[in-house]
Amino acid sequence: MGRLPRILLLNEYTPIYQRTACEELARQVSELRKDEDALDAYLVDLQDLVESIRPHAKACSKWYKKFLDRRLRSIIEKLREEEEWDADLNEMSEGDFAPLKKHTNVVLPKVLSNDEWQEIRGEIVASMAEYRDARLRRERAALIQRRLLDLRRVVCKLQLGDRGFRTPEQDFGPRFADFALMPEFRTLVEAPSDMDIKRSTFRRKCAELPALFDRFDAGREAQLARLLAERLGRPADAPSTDILKLAVAWFHCDQCRKYVRCPGVFAHQCQRPYYHRTDREDYEDAYIYDVAKASTFHAWSTTKLHPIPEEDLAALRALIAACGLDPARATAEEMDALDLRVTCDEIPVPYASKSEGKLVMNWRRAVLSLPMIQGGNPVKWVRASDADKRRALSLEAKAHQALLMKPKHQKFLQCALCDEPWWLVTESHGDAFLVADHLRRHHHISMAEIHSKGVYMYMHPDGVPETPEVWLPFL
């Protein structure tokens, strides 16, 4: 094809060939393909023709572009006369009218006449209407994001309060994404575009917060109570939230594969997935995704939670019974008050190879260890003797300290001055040094202040470890 006359050259690399020239080439080649000499002669002539045209190709290309541009301007002028497309044309002009330029009725080497305009107007106007719809959708989405970010700032300031810093207790309550989904705030965020919704509008609404907090907490508890009642085979219509106080009221988090219960489950980070792990298209109600985008994390939900599965529930009931309480009625508070230690009758896999001794732990640690200890085989729990418990206590304290120093716990350190997920930009889950660096860079707090005051960072409840299990060597 390199031998075809380049009639026009849009740029150095994109030649345009005239259709009639292509058809002529095809016709000639097919006619001459059996006569090699004649074909060679034809191709040599053609090559000469190409060479004679080449010096003019750039000029032609320039002329053609100008020609098309004049036609585009004429069409824009016609649209401007209609007045209603001004906002769209103004926006389009920022991108050099790219959408119009590609329109089949625009890319024609013809001077636009009034008659032709009447012919093509319908199609051009239909494209403009499509463009307008897309523009309005974009503008509305941008407005919703702006309002959500305003609400986020209001909520963040509110949570800092007069103290000027956040506290770990707040992680158990509603966060910005939860606020934004409350109908009271959603109505404001989604108010008609011509309504002036400002931060002060959201601040005024915040006067209702204590009641909204109570409603939010009650809603979450009722949700969990229903899930648990169903698992325990109790009436699940409107169970009392007292069911959540039971020692068997544990939920499995499918995200991190750990057991959580009230109140830790309300702060648990897996219940608020990072918005990037989800797609807007997957939400029937796209507002849910838009809120997550403004917040970086989704609102709290039970999506990743399941009440303790049947096999672990049986093991947990056996554990409670081994401690001398009735599994159907015992509460977590009662189990905590006993402060017993338990062990297994046989050292289970994967602990078996670790050492010879007795594996001793409190009941909460025993629940957290269930998925690992069970390993498919039912475990027989035995209450540890008072002497064994005394031996375990000092070992537990040491193991607890060691656990706090592990990097996996440090990643739960939070900045107390903002709700930014600052670790996302560092691409590394944090430690005290990284949080301090964030405080210094973003909040201009000096290192001396960070170390002396101790209020600028705190451990998220997920990072507070349960008392670890310990090995008591056989005496």
Residues that bind Zn ion (CB under 5 A): 253, 255-256, 270, 415, 417-418
Residue that has been written with the tokens 């051009």 in this structure: 124
Question: What stretches of 104-173 adopt beta strand conformation (E)?
Answer: none
Nearer to Zn ion, 5 or 307 (CB): 307
In sequence order, the 6+-apart residues with CB closer than 8 A to the CB of 146 are none
Nearer to Zn ion, 209 or 418 (CB): 418
Residue that has been written with the tokens 């690992």 in this structure: 372
Burial label for 361, CB within 10 Å (0-12, 13-18, 19+), is: buried
Q: Is the dihedral of CA 297, 298, 300, 303 positive or negative?
A: negative
Nearer to Zn ion, 144 or 436 (CB): 436
Minimal distance, residue 268 CB to Zn ion, in Å: 6
Minimal distance, residue 453 CB to Zn ion, in Å: 15
Nearer to Zn ion, 125 or 156 (CB): 156
Minimal distance, residue 265 CB to Zn ion, in Å: 9
Question: What would the two tokens of residue 198 be?
Answer: 């400002």
Question: Is-cis flag, bond preceding 371, omega within 30?
Answer: no
Question: What would the two tokens of residue 437 be?
Answer: 């660096």
Minimal distance, residue 415 CB to Zn ion, in Å: 3
Nearer to Zn ion, 347 or 434 (CB): 434
134: helix, strand or coil: helix
Q: Is the dihedral of CA 251, 290, 203, 440 positive or negative?
A: positive
Nearer to Zn ion, 231 or 272 (CB): 272
The region, left, alpha or beta by phi > 0 then psi within -120 to 50, assigned to residue 97 is left
Minimal distance, residue 372 CB to Zn ion, in Å: 16
Q: Could you give the CA distance from residue 450 to residue 459 in angstroms, rounded to a whole number?
A: 15
Minimal distance, residue 418 CB to Zn ion, in Å: 3
Minimal distance, residue 69 CB to Zn ion, in Å: 51
In sequence order, the 6+-apart residues with CB closer than 8 A to the CB of 262 are 221, 224, 244, 245, 249
Question: Is-cis flag, bond preceding 465, omega within 30?
Answer: no
Q: Is the dihedral of CA 316, 317, 319, 323 positive or negative?
A: positive
Q: Is the dihedral of CA 195, 197, 198, 202 positive or negative?
A: positive
Nearer to Zn ion, 255 or 331 (CB): 255
Nearer to Zn ion, 10 or 256 (CB): 256
Nearer to Zn ion, 127 or 255 (CB): 255
Minimal distance, residue 271 CB to Zn ion, in Å: 7
Minimal distance, residue 178 CB to Zn ion, in Å: 18
Q: Could you give the CA distance from residue 282 to residue 279 in angstroms, rounded to a whole number?
A: 5
